[in-house]
Structure 1
Amino acid sequence: MRIGIIGAGAIGGTIAALLDRAGHEVAVTARGEGLAAITAHGLQLDGAWGDHVARVSAAERLTTAPEVAFVCTKAQDAAAALRENADALRGITVVMVQNGLEALQLAAGILPESELVGALALYAARYVEPGHVTVTAPGSTYLGDGSGEPTEAARRAAAILAAVMPAVATRNFSGAQWSKLVVNMVNALPALTGMSVQDTIRDARLGRIVTASMRETVRVGFASGVRYASVQGLSHPLLRVFSWLPLWAARALPRLMARRMGSVPNLGSTLQSRRRGRATEIDFLNGAVVRAAAASGRTAPVNEAIVEAMHRAEHAGVYLSRDEAAALPIG
């Protein structure tokens, strides 16, 4: 099958390499050093799902129309990537492998004639260097397209991925997006401090902020009428209890998440972006919570403070000390 992968970073590179290993005809988009490395040496994959060098076609844009495409850019780059590749994507199945809540609505405005599917990658992968990705922790990919049963397009896309990694078409994809958003709340503090996710959660002061941002996200979701899906050990009943707990007791949940990540330092996608000199997804993660809160007539002061701190840190090109990060307000 002809498959296009837009964005050959940690997630896109993993998907591209695994599909190439399975015998598909894979074309990827990349830029700069990443494009040069893939062209010269292939796309290198190692880690939890084995080693492979994928000799894929690579260019800044898709040059021919694939049968199905996976859009794996950072959320802030998705609109530009869709517009740049619109001719190749028009009328085919396009899978938006994105963090946040808004990917499918964004794609629908740009590709109204395409079959659109959302996807949540729950495995951890690291963009080690240009053209080289490492899977640090295996996990599933969930695919769907709303709050009901998955469409036939979602089932077909899931079947393609399921042949090379754990993947499933799921009902209540919107609820899964919200559950993944709660998980993604562990990303901001590492990106602010330069520490791993595990070390950030284990730190007494920083862990309280991570917990507060997660609890606030859960509460905003409930206020927005969300029915949370079961994702990475989270469930609607568990998150209902979590939303009621005092902060000291609620800390048990992110601590459990840190233990499940294992001993390999998990940098999180946001810190990986900073280390590569790229803009982060903060406006599509913590910022999505702030916007959802406003839409339901609420506020999200913890996540708003985190967004503002990240913007300042990115603009100045600095990381915060533990003391500086611990001073963020959590109410």
Structure 2
Amino acid sequence: MRIAVIGAGAIGGTIAALLDRVGHDVAITARGDQLQTIRTSGLRIAGGWGEHTARPRASAVLETAPELVFVCTKAQDAAGAITVNAESLVGIPVVIVQNGLDGVRLAEELLPDSPVIGAIAIYAASYLKPGLIDVTAAGPTVIGTDDPARRDIAAHIASVLGAAMPTLLVADFRGAQWSKLIVNQVNAMPAITGLSAQETLVHPVLGRIVTASMREAVRIGLSTGVRFASLQGLSQPVLRAFALAPISIGRALPRLMAARMGDTPNPGSTLQSIRRGQPTEIDFLHGAVVRAASEAGLTAPINERLTELVHRVEKSGDFLGVEEVAAEFA
């Protein structure tokens, strides 16, 4: 099958390499050193799903129309990436593999003649250098749609991708997005401090702040009618209890999340972006919680402050120490 992947970062590169491994005709868009390296040496993945060097056709924009496309850019880059490739995407299924809550809606506005399906990467992967991606924690890619008319298309895509990597088909995609949004609450603190997600989650000070931000996000979701999907040990009953329990008891959930990440330090995608000098997608992670709260007439001050601190580090390049972070939430 002719499959295109737009975006050759950690997530897109993993999907492209694994689809190549099972025999699909894969094209990928990339830029800079990543584009040049893929063209000359291929795209190599290592880690959780073994090693493979893929030889996809690489270009800055798609040169031929595929039969299926995965959009795997950062959320803030999606509109531009879809727009420059729009001619190749007319009428074919487009899978938006992104964090946040707005990716599918945005793609539907830009591609009114294409069936748009949502996807969420539950695995963790790191872009180590051009041409090399390390899968640090294996996990499924969640596929779904909230449009009943597109569920057969979603099922077909799940079947295609499922032959290459673990895939989970869900009926309530909004609930899955919100559950991943809670998982992504681990992203801000590593970006602010330069520490791994595991270190921040178990730290007595930083972990308490992360717990508070998670609880705030869960409460916003519950207040807007979200029913959280069962993902990575999170579920509607677990998250409801987590939001209502005393914070001292709630601390157990972030510690469990840290343990499930394993021993390999997980920097989180936001810290990876900062280390590469690239804009982060924090506005589509913690910022999405702030917007959802505002739309419901509520506030999310902890998530708002975390978003502000990530932007501060983006601009300055200087990480904050534990005492500095604690002072921001005193």
Alignment gaps of 5+ in structure 1: none
Q: Report how far residue 326 of structure 1 moved.
A: 2.2
Indicate the residue corresponding to 1:220 in structure 2: 220
Indicate the residue corresponding to 1:195 in structure 2: 195
Q: Is the 8 A contact 2:191 2:313 kept in 1?
A: no
The DSSP-based 3-state class of the residue aligned with 1:128 is: strand
Quick one: which amino acid aligns to residue 264 of structure 1? T
**Structure 2 residue 49 is the aligned partner of structure 1 residue 49:** yes
**Structure 2 residue 159 is the aligned partner of structure 1 residue 122:** no
The DSSP-based 3-state class of the residue aligned with 1:45 is: strand
Indicate the residue corresponding to 1:143 in structure 2: 143
Structure 2 Cα separation of the partners of residues 148 and 231 of structure 1: 22
Q: Report how far residue 148 of structure 1 moved.
A: 6.2
Indicate the residue corresponding to 1:176 in structure 2: 176
Structure 1 Cα separation of the partners of residues 29 and 319 of structure 2: 30
**Structure 2 residue 306 is the aligned partner of structure 1 residue 306:** yes
Structure 1 Cα separation of the partners of residues 327 and 141 of structure 2: 36
Q: Report how far residue 149 of structure 1 moved.
A: 8.9
C-alpha change, 1:190 and 1:80, in structure 2 (3 Å) is same
Indicate the residue corresponding to 1:232 in structure 2: 232
**Structure 2 residue 286 is the aligned partner of structure 1 residue 254:** no
Quick one: which amino acid aligns to residue 26 of structure 2? V
Quick one: which amino acid aligns to residue 220 of structure 1? I
Q: Report how far residue 90 of structure 1 moved.
A: 1.3
Structure 2 Cα separation of the partners of residues 325 and 129 of structure 1: 30
Structure 2 Cα separation of the partners of residues 168 and 184 of structure 1: 18
Structure 1 Cα separation of the partners of residues 305 and 96 of structure 2: 28
Q: Report how far residue 292 of structure 1 moved.
A: 0.3
List per-residue Cα deviations over 1:216-244 (Å, max 9, x = no partner).
Answer: 00000011111111111111011110110
Indicate the residue corresponding to 2:266 in structure 1: 266
The DSSP-based 3-state class of the residue aligned with 1:324 is: helix
Indicate the residue corresponding to 1:77 in structure 2: 77
Structure 1 length-normalised TM: 0.98
Structure 2 Cα separation of the partners of residues 192 and 65 of structure 1: 41
The DSSP-based 3-state class of the residue aligned with 2:101 is: coil
List per-residue Cα deviations over 1:176-195 (Å, max 9, x = no partner).
Answer: 00000000000100011110
The DSSP-based 3-state class of the residue aligned with 2:201 is: helix
Structure 2 length-normalised TM: 0.98
Structure 2 Cα separation of the partners of residues 22 and 275 of structure 1: 32
Indicate the residue corresponding to 2:12 in structure 1: 12
Indicate the residue corresponding to 2:87 in structure 1: 87
The DSSP-based 3-state class of the residue aligned with 1:151 is: helix
Alignment of 1:308-323 (within 5 A): 308-323=308-323
Alignment gaps of 5+ in structure 2: none
Report how many residues are paired.
330
C-alpha change, 1:64 and 1:261, in structure 2 (3 Å) is same
Q: Report how far residue 329 of structure 1 moved.
A: 1.9
List per-residue Cα deviations over 1:172-213 (Å, max 9, x = no partner).
Answer: 110000000000000100011110000011111000111111
C-alpha change, 1:325 and 1:106, in structure 2 (3 Å) is same
Report the aligned-residue RMSD: 1.2
Structure 2 Cα separation of the partners of residues 10 and 96 of structure 1: 15
Quick one: which amino acid aligns to residue 252 of structure 1? A
Quick one: which amino acid aligns to residue 106 of structure 1? L
Q: Is the 8 A contact 1:188 1:282 kept in 2?
A: yes
Q: Report how far residue 49 of structure 1 moved.
A: 0.4
| Amino-acid identity (%) | 58
Indicate the residue corresponding to 2:106 in structure 1: 106
Structure 2 Cα separation of the partners of residues 165 and 280 of structure 1: 27
Q: Is the 8 A contact 2:115 2:150 kept in 1?
A: no
Quick one: which amino acid aligns to residue 60 of structure 1? A
List per-residue Cα deviations over 1:50-97 (Å, max 9, x = no partner).
Answer: 111101100110111100000000111111100011011111000000
Quick one: which amino acid aligns to residue 61 of structure 2? R
